[in-house]
Each structure stands twice: as structure tokens, then as C-alpha cells.
Structure 1
């Protein structure tokens, strides 16, 4: 799954057609969607081991923090907050 999502993300980022500013949000959402593919793995882990074990032994809160930071960074990139001021 991640191989296909990564290939699609690379194609969109490197294709000259999508280099225009009007595709900036689309490129950002593609990157975020690839980054959020971990949700399928967590759902699978919760079904196998239960939520308590996933929270304690597999460090699920760290994954949530990591993805939150990824989303914040992508939002800064997509909206160009630092550059627009």
C-alpha cells in the first residue's frame, strides 16, 4: 500500500503538469494522504491486540503526535503562512 501511495505522490510531485501553484493544495493533500496511511495499520493492530495493548506496548500516542506534527507542517506548506506575511 505505501509503495503505491509513495509512487503516486512522487509522480505528482515530479510531473511538470502539477508544478503550477493551482495544484499546491492537491500536492499537499497527496502528501498528507500518504502520511495518514498508517491508520490502516493501527486499526489492524487494535483489532488484533486491543486498544490497551496498542497504547502501552506499541506507543500509539507517539504515532498520533507524529501525524499531528506532519499535518501542521503540511498546513503551513499548503497555506504558505510564513511566506505570505
Structure 2
């Protein structure tokens, strides 16, 4: 993975707010977010790659990376979305 990346963008998440979601709370409370971020930064540094942490309100999951199209109605149950389908729907 690291060999094809130029940089990696990560959201600055707020786990304490995410725990309020009853469906996600158990899974979220079981992991250490700061440790995951530290490990990713370590590996990025190892491969001389840049890690950029973006604001938690930046709509990174809603944006198509090539053209910037924004999926306004994205919900947690949508894991993948296809740009061509989005543009052709009414």
C-alpha cells in the first residue's frame, strides 16, 4: 500500500462523541484511536510519506477524490458509492 501512496489524509475523529451511537459504541470503545494514528504515522515516516490530518467536519467520506463531487445524503450504512450512478439519478 505505501509504495503507491503520495500522501494519506486522516480525519481528526472524536471517539467520545462517536460512542454516543449505540450501534457503534462497543466497537469504538474497544480500540485506542491515538495508538492507531501513531502506528500509521510511524509507517508513513518509514516510507517517507506524508500524513495529513483534516478537520473532523471536512466531508472526506462524501467527496469523490478525482473531481470533488459531493454525495450530500451519505449515511453510515453506505460503505461504497458509485459516482456514475450518483450523477445519473434524478
**Taking structure 1 as the reference length, what is the TM-score of the superposition?**
0.29
Give the structure with the larger helix fraction: 1
